[in-house]
């Protein structure tokens, strides 16, 4: 096989930045699959250049070096950046391939700008492509493996790419690891809800952890499992076999139903320092919160007790919520969240706005059928900058009033102070302060407040939100242009707009 120059780009962000929080954290958002693809390409005998773009690199120097084949991994919010990079590489003769969440959510759109768009990806697909990387234009080819791979290169094989990425993180250096794919729960808004749960090899976990101990003085591992600990005893057994207590710190996302007190005792003993449980809603999803049929104030009380118990064992807890779900109505969900923040003051709350990412989740088909999906450009689809689903039980102004009021409450100085006091150890105390005042949080609050004002003062914003016009308001168009910077001119014609009902259309006509 001919030896090819392969570039693998992992976009952890969509734009250049100088923000402190991005400096601290973006390199820790690196995905595993781009590193896996880089390993597979090297093992097939190709020259590989891997770049994790964190917003601080010089794009022209790093990402646009000559290549025969370019793989880009991107979340939807980085789609325009990915399209622009792909366009520049194609002009120079490269074949481009898109993978990652955007490729799975919006494959039809991505085929307009990439030669290949990968869904589930395995080694055979990558090797076949590199054997004969024929251009596919004007419309790219969608390829997907029948299922997720049964195994992936571990940390040891990915090490040189891991090392290059964590070198960009000045303080906290998280090594990404994966113990399982998919999730046994079926939260209708989640991309993992339709991927069958599948553990990866426990022997590989053991050998990767031992390898890490030989490479770093005190490693920190971020588990990328959608829901860590479904086979709790197997995972903790593997960790206990390989890691003396306290030698590695672990970060994981896990549902409350898996975080019983005996489990927490074992997690604490084995160095788990950060847990991110999803609470999502006070009126739905009681199974994953282990609150059964309790809703409203009773669920708040039970979950707050549970979170306070977790904080006795795990130093840092982030609680995740989804706002605007169809089960929510009136002021109560927002007021209950404030009450929860008062009852569990040590946890750091993060809010996602209900969003429909293309064909990511089954719920999206219903939302598109009901005409409730708005054509916001991809750039704003990060579950925070824009809510692209018309809420069922709220008028827009009322929704944004409640959202801004909640965020101002939660990220206010008194609440930041209470969080500081309620946490026991130094790093979580200051981490919460930095996050509370960072552009990540306060920037979002002021953005939401601005949108609220525009809903009143800017007719084009009002019409767009109320589905009276699909013309993108100048406020949003200017922001994309500003954020893309030098890449704006490379964004292909038509790249700003997409068919927001493509999922529905493809179901009606499967060849679409
Ligand atoms: S529990 Fe978490 S990962 Fe699993 S389907 Fe629900 S939201 Fe997704």
CA 102 / ligand 1 centre spacing (Å): 18
Q: Record the tokens describing residue 284, joined without a space.
A: 């739905």
Q: Record the tokens describing residue 32, joined without a space.
A: 């595993």
Q: What angle do CA 438, 440, 444 make, to 5 degrees?
A: 110
C-beta of 183 in contact with ligand 1 (< 6 A): yes
Element (H, E) at 469: none
CA 59 / ligand 1 centre spacing (Å): 34
C-beta of 182 in contact with ligand 1 (< 6 A): no
CATH number given to 5-143:
3.40.50
Q: How much is the pLDDT for 512? A: 47
Give the dihedral of Cα atoms 312, 313, 315, 321; nearest 10 deg. -80
Q: How much is the pLDDT for 286? A: 61
Task: Give the integer Cα–Cα distance in Å for 85 and 92.
Answer: 11
Protein residue whose Cα sits closest to atom 8 of ligand 1: 190
Which ligand 1 atom sits closest to the C-alpha of 193?
A: 5
Best residue for ligand 1 mutational test, from 276, 278, 285, 352 (most atoms within 8 Å of Cβ): 278
What does the domain layout of the chain look like in residue ranges?
5-143
C-beta of 193 in contact with ligand 1 (< 6 A): yes
Q: Record the tokens describing residue 123, joined without a space.
A: 């080694």
CB-based burial of residue 206 (10 Å sphere; 0-12 exposed, 13-18 middle, 19+ buried)? middle
Protein residue whose Cα sits closest to atom 6 of ligand 1: 187
CB 84 within 8 A of CB 15: no
Protein residue whose Cα sits closest to atom 5 of ligand 1: 193
CA 191 / ligand 1 centre spacing (Å): 8
CB-based burial of residue 218 (10 Å sphere; 0-12 exposed, 13-18 middle, 19+ buried)? exposed
Residue 462: CB atoms within 10 A of its CB come to: 17
CB 378 within 8 A of CB 76: yes
Element (H, E) at 122: none
C-beta of 227 in contact with ligand 1 (< 6 A): yes
Is residue 389 classed as helix, strand or coil in its secondary structure? strand
Which ligand 1 atom sits closest to the C-alpha of 186?
A: 5
Q: In a structure prediction context, what are the per-residue pLDDT tens digits for the chain, which is 512 residues long?
A: 789 999 999 999 998 888 888 898 999 999 999 999 999 999 999 999 999 999 999 887 888 899 999 999 999 999 999 999 999 999 999 999 999 999 999 999 999 999 999 999 999 999 999 999 999 999 999 999 998 999 999 999 999 999 999 999 999 999 999 999 998 888 888 888 888 899 998 999 999 999 999 999 999 999 999 989 889 999 999 999 999 999 999 999 998 989 999 999 999 999 999 999 989 889 886 666 666 777 899 999 999 999 999 999 999 999 999 999 999 999 999 999 999 999 999 999 999 999 999 999 989 999 999 999 999 999 999 999 999 999 999 999 999 999 999 999 999 999 999 999 999 888 888 888 888 887 777 788 999 999 999 999 999 999 999 999 999 999 999 999 999 988 999 999 999 999 999 999 998 765 54
Element (H, E) at 73: strand 69-74
Contacts of 90 (CB under 8 A, 6+ apart): 96, 115, 135, 137
Q: Which DSSP state fits 151?
A: -
Task: Give the integer Cα–Cα distance in Å for 474 and 453.
Answer: 15
Give the dihedral of Cα atoms 178, 180, 186, 190; nearest 10 deg. 20
C-beta of 264 in contact with ligand 1 (< 6 A): no
CB 296 within 8 A of CB 336: yes
Task: Give the integer Cα–Cα distance in Å for 486 and 464.
Answer: 28
C-beta of 255 in contact with ligand 1 (< 6 A): yes
Which ligand 1 atom sits closest to the C-alpha of 191?
A: 8
Q: Record the tokens describing residue 201, joined without a space.
A: 């090899």
Protein residue whose Cα sits closest to atom 3 of ligand 1: 226
Which ligand 1 atom sits closest to the C-alpha of 226?
A: 3
Best residue for ligand 1 mutational test, from 182, 183, 223, 287 (most atoms within 8 Å of Cβ): 183
**Per-residue CA distances from 421 to 1, 301, 308, 314, 424 (Å):** 61, 21, 14, 16, 7
CA 227 / ligand 1 centre spacing (Å): 6
Is residue 105 classed as helix, strand or coil in its secondary structure? helix
């Amino acid at each position: 096989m001919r030896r090819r120059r392969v570039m693998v780009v992992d976009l952890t962000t969509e734009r250049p930045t100088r923000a402190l929080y991005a400096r601290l954290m973006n390199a820790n958002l690196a995905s595993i699959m781009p590193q896996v693809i880089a390993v597979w390409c090297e093992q097939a005998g190709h020259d590989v250049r891997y770049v994790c773009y964190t917003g601080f690199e010089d794009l022209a120097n790093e990402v646009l070096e000559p290549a025969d084949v370019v793989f880009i991994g991107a979340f939807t919010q980085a789609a325009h950046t990915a399209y622009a990079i792909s366009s520049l590489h194609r002009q120079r003769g490269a074949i481009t391939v898109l993978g990652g969440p955007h490729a799975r959510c919006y494959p039809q759109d991505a085929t307009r700008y990439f030669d290949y768009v990968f869904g589930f990806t395995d080694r055979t697909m990558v090797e076949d492509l590199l054997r004969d990387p024929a251009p596919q234009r004007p419309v790219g080819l969608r390829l997907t493996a029948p299922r997720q791979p049964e195994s992936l290169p571990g940390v040891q094989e990915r090490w040189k790419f891991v090392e290059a990425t964590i070198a960009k993180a000045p303080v906290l250096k998280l090594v990404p690891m994966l113990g399982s794919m998919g999730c046994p729960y079926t939260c209708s808004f989640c991309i993992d809800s339709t991927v069958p749960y599948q553990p990866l090899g426990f022997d590989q976990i053991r050998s990767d952890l031992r390898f890490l101990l030989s490479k770093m003085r005190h490693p920190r591992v971020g588990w990328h499992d959608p829901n860590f600990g479904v086979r709790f005893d197997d995972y903790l057994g593997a960790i206990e076999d390989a890691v003396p207590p306290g030698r590695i710190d672990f970060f994981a996302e896990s549902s409350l139903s898996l975080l019983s007190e005996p489990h927490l005792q074992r997690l604490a003993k084995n160095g788990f320092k950060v847990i991110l449980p999803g609470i999502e809603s006070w009126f739905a999803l009681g199974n994953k919160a282990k609150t059964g049929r309790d809703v409203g104030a009773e669920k708040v009380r039970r979950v707050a007790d549970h979170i306070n118990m977790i904080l006795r064992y795990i130093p840092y807890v982030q609680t995740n919520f989804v706002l605007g779900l169809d089960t929510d109505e009136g002021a109560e969900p927002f007021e209950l969240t404030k009450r929860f923040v008062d009852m569990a003051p040590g946890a750091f709350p993060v809010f996602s706005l209900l969003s429909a990412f293309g064909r990511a989740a089954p719920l999206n088909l219903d939302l598109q059928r009901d005409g409730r999906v708005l054509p916001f450009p991809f750039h704003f689809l990060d579950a925070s900058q824009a809510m692209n689903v018309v809420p069922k039980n709220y008028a827009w102004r009322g929704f944004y009033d409640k959202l801004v009021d909640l965020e101002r409450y939660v990220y206010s100085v008194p609440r930041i102070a209470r969080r500081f006091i309620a946490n026991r150890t130094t790093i979580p105390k200051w981490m919460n302060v930095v996050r509370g005042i960072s552009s990540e949080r306060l920037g979002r609050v002021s953005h939401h407040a601005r949108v609220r004002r525009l809903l009143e003062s800017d007719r084009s914003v009002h019409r767009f939100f109320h589905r009276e016009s699909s013309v993108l308001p100048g406020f949003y168009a200017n922001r994309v242009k500003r954020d893309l910077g030098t890449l704006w001119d490379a964004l292909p014609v038509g790249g700003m707009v997409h068919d927001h009902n493509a999922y529905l259309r493809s179901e009606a006509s499967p060849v679409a």
